C-alpha cells in the first residue's frame, strides 16, 4: 500500500521493525538514536542496520516503481527507497527534494572513454549540485530525530554547501570547517549563502576533519561528516537509483571518484543489500578512481590492502584531495565484496576528461571527471572491456569550480588538448569575420 505521502510517513507496510547502529569493527550495537561519532568500545566506524523489509525481489521493485509516479511525497530519489535508507525517518524528514538524477549517454564521452555503452549518472543535478545532498537529507533528518542543537562538518566544499542548505531548511545552526584557500569558489559561496558559520582553517582537509571531531565532542555538536553512518545510508541511493533506471539489470561496472571513501563505502553497502534482497541477481564491479597525487587507497589496493598509507594530498580535483581517508576500512570491504578495482589518473587526464564531458554539453566539476578518465585508463589497461556496460558517476556540477575551468581554457603555455579560449575583439563586424575566417 502506497500513498502520496508514504515515502515520508513514519512506517509503511514494507518496514516492520526498527533500525540500530553497529560498530563495523567490533560489532557492538547502539540504538539508532545514539548521537555517536564512533564506537565507544573500540573507536571503529558505525554502520546503520535496518530490519529487512517484508517484501523482496519483484514485489519490492514494484513498490519502488509505484512511488515514482506517486506525487509529491515520492518526489525524492532518496526517500522513495526509505525502507533501505531510514525506515523510521517519519515526520522528521528534511527533503529538498533530492536525487532523481539522470543517466545520460553522450557519444563524445563514450568514444573518448573507449566504451560504447557508457552511461553518466549525473549527481550534479542535485539541489546543491553534488551527490552530498543524498547523504545530507538523511543526516539532517537524523539530526532532527535526535534533537541536535547544532550540526557540523569538515569539508572540501561540497559537504559544507549541502549541510548549510539542509540545516537552513531544518532551522538548525550549522558550523563548517574548510581548508583556507583550497575550496572551489562555487562551494564556498554556497556555504556562505545558505548561512552556515564558515571557518577557514589554516590547514588541509585532514586537519579540518580532526578539528571538527574534537569540536563536536567538546561542544556537543552533531557531527555530519561522511563517517556519520546515516549519510552513507542516503548515498546508497545513487547506486540503487541507477540500478532501478537500468530496469535492475546490473551493469558490469560502477565507476566513481574516490577521496574520503564514504561514497565507495556506500556503493558497496548498497550493492550487498540490493543483492541480498533479490533486487539484482548479479553484483556490478566497483572501480574507485583516485587522483595520482591523493591516492592512498589505490596504493593500498596494489598491496592487497595490507597497508594503510597516509599521503600529503595534491591534486587539482579538490573534492578528492584527501590524504587520510576516513572511510578506508568500509571502502576496502566495498572493493572486496564487489571484486572491484582501485586505480589512479593524473591531473592532466582529469582535466582533459572534464573538458570532453563539458564540451558534450553535460559538464561536471574536476573530481567528477576522474570517473570518466578512470574508465579510459582501465580500458587501455584491458581491465574494462570496450563492450562492457559501464555507469560512471559524475559527482558534481560544472559550476562548482569555475576557477579550474577558466584556467584550463585560458592556459597558453602550452594550451591544453581541448582548450576553448575566449577571443577578445574590437567591436567591429570585420573583427568578427576575421575570427570566424581563422576557424579558431
Ligand X SMILES: *Cc1c(COP(=O)(O)O)cnc(C)c1O
Binding site for ligand X (CB under 6 A): 130, 132, 158, 226, 257-264, 319-320, 365, 367-368, 395-396
Q: Which does 344 bind (CB under 5 to 8 A by kind): Zn ion, ligand X, none?
A: none
Q: Nearest distance from residue 325's CB to ligand X, in Å?
A: 7
Selection from Zn ion, ligand X, none that 315 binds (CB < 5 to 8 A by kind) is none
When the beta carbons of 8 and 368 are compared against ligand X, the nearer one is 368
Interface with Zn ion (CB under 5 A), residue total 8
Using the contact rule CB under 5 A, the part of the chain among 23-31, 154-162, 304-312, 346-354 near Zn ion is 23-31
Closer by beta carbon to ligand X, 77 or else 296: 296
State the minimum distance, in angstroms, from the CB of residue 222 to Zn ion. Answer: 20
The CA-atom distances, in angstroms, between 167 and each of 137, 148, 238, 336 are 9, 11, 22, 35
- Cell 535492475 belongs to 248
Residue 123 region by backbone torsions, left for phi larger than 0, else alpha for psi between -120 and 50, else beta: alpha
Binding mask 38-67 for Zn ion (x = CB under 5 A): -x-xx-x-----------------------
Q: Decide whether 23 or 320 has the Cβ nearer to ligand X.
A: 320
Instruction: Kindly tell me which of 335 and 367 has the beta carbon lying closer to ligand X.
Output: 367
Selected range binding Zn ion among 31-39, 60-68, 333-341, 355-363, rule: CB under 5 A: 31-39
In whole angstroms, how close is the CB of 123 to ligand X at the nearest point?
8
Nearest distance, CB of residue 78 and ligand X, angstroms = 16
| Residue 114 vs residues 71, 107, 149, 242: alpha-carbon distances, Å | 39, 10, 50, 21
Helices 158-170 and 132-145, interaxial angle, to 10°?
40
Nearest distance in Å: CB 308, ligand X? 16
Closest residue to bound ligand X by CB: 396
Residue 178 and residue 156 in contact, taking contact as beta carbons nearer than 8 Å: yes
Nearest to 171 by CA among 58, 94, 60: 94
Contact (CB, 8 A) for 277 and 60: yes
Tell me the sheet residues that pair with 343: 289
- Name which of Zn ion, ligand X, none residue 368 binds, using a CB cut-off of 5 to 8 Å depending on partner kind: ligand X
- Would you say 83 or 352 has its CB closer to ligand X? 352
**29 near Zn ion (CB under 5 A):** no
CB nearer to ligand X: pick between 75 and 235: 235
Closer residue to ligand X, CB minimum distance, 110 or 395 = 395
Centre a 10 Å sphere on the Cβ of residue 139 and count the other Cβ atoms it contains: 33
Q: In what order do the strands lie in the sheet with 46-50?
A: 29-31, 19-23, 46-50
Only one residue has cell 546543491, namely 128
Cis omega before residue 152 (within 30°)? no
**Dmax of the chain from CA atoms?**
76
Q: Which one of ligand X, Zn ion, none interacts with residue 26, CB within 5 to 8 A by kind?
A: Zn ion
Phi and psi at 318, nearest 5°, equal: -60, -25
Amino acid at each position: 500500500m502506497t500513498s502520496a505521502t508514504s515515502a515520508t510517513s513514519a512506517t509503511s507496510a514494507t518496514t516492520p521493525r526498527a533500525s540500530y547502529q553497529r560498530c563495523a569493527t567490533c560489532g557492538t550495537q547502539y540504538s539508532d538514536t545514539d548521537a555517536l561519532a564512533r564506537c565507544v568500545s573500540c573507536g571503529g566506524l558505525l554502520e546503520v542496520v535496518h530490519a529487512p523489509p517484508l517484501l523482496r525481489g519483484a514485489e519490492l521493485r514494484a513498490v519502488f516503481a509505484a512511488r515514482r509516479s506517486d506525487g509529491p511525497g515520492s518526489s525524492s530519489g532518496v526517500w522513495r527507497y526509505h525502507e533501505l535508507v531510514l525506515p523510521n525517518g517519519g515526520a522528521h524528514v528534511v527533503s529538498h527534494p533530492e536525487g532523481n538524477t539522470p543517466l545520460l549517454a553522450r557519444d563524445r564521452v563514450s568514444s573518448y572513454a573507449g566504451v560504447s555503452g557508457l552511461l553518466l549518472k549525473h549527481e550534479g543535478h542535485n539541489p546543491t549540485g553534488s551527490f552530498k545532498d543524498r547523504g545530507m537529507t538523511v543526516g539532517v533528518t537524523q539530526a532532527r530525530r535526535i534533537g541536535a542543537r547544532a550540526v557540523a562538518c569538515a569539508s572540501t566544499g561540497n559537504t559544507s554547501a549541502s549541510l548549510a542548505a539542509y540545516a537552513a531548511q531544518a532551522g538548525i545552526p550549522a558550523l563548517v570547517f574548510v581548508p583556507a584557500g583550497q575550496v572551489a569558489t562555487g562551494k564556498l559561496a554556497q556555504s556562505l549563502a545558505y548561512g552556515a558559520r564558515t571557518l577557514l582553517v589554516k590547514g588541509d582537509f585532514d586537519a579540518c576533519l580532526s578539528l571538527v571531531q574534537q569540536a563536536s565532542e567538546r561542544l556537543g555538536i552533531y557531527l555530519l561528516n561522511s563517517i556519520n553512518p546515516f549519510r552513507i545510508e542516503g548515498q546508497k541511493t545513487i547506486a540503487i537509483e541507477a540500478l532501478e533506471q537500468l530496469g535492475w539489470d546490473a551493469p558490469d561496472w560502477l565507476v566513481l571518484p574516490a577521496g574520503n571513501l564514504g561514497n565507495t563505502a556506500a556503493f558497496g553497502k548498497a550493492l550487498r543489500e540490493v543483492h541480498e534482497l533479490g533486487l539484482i541477481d548479479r553484483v556490478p564491479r566497483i572501480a574507485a578512481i583516485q587522483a595520482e597525487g591523493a591516492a592512498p587507497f589505490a596504493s593500498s589496493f596494489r598491496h592487497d590492502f595490507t597497508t594503510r598509507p597516509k599521503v600529503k594530498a595534491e591534486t587539482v580535483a579538490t573534492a578528492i584531495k584527501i590524504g587520510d581517508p576516513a572511510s578506508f576500512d568500509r571502502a576496502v570491504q566495498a572493493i572486496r565484496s564487489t571484486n572491484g578495482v582501485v586505480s589512479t589518473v593524473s591531473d592532466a587526464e582529469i582535466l582533459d576528461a572534464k573538458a570532453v564531458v563539458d564540451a558534450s554539453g553535460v559538464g561536471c566539476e574536476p573530481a567528477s571527471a576522474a570517473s570518466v578518465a578512470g574508465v579510459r585508463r582501465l580500458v587501455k589497461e584491458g581491465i574494462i572491456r570496450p563492450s562492457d556496460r559501464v555507469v560512471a558517476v559524475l559527482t558534481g556540477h560544472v559550476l562548482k569550480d569555475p576557477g579550474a575551468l577558466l584556467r584550463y581554457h585560458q592556459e597558453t603555455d602550452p594550451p591544453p588538448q581541448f582548450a576553448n579560449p575566449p577571443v577578445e575583439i574590437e567591436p567591429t563586424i570585420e573583427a568578427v569575420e576575421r575570427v570566424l575566417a581563422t576557424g579558431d
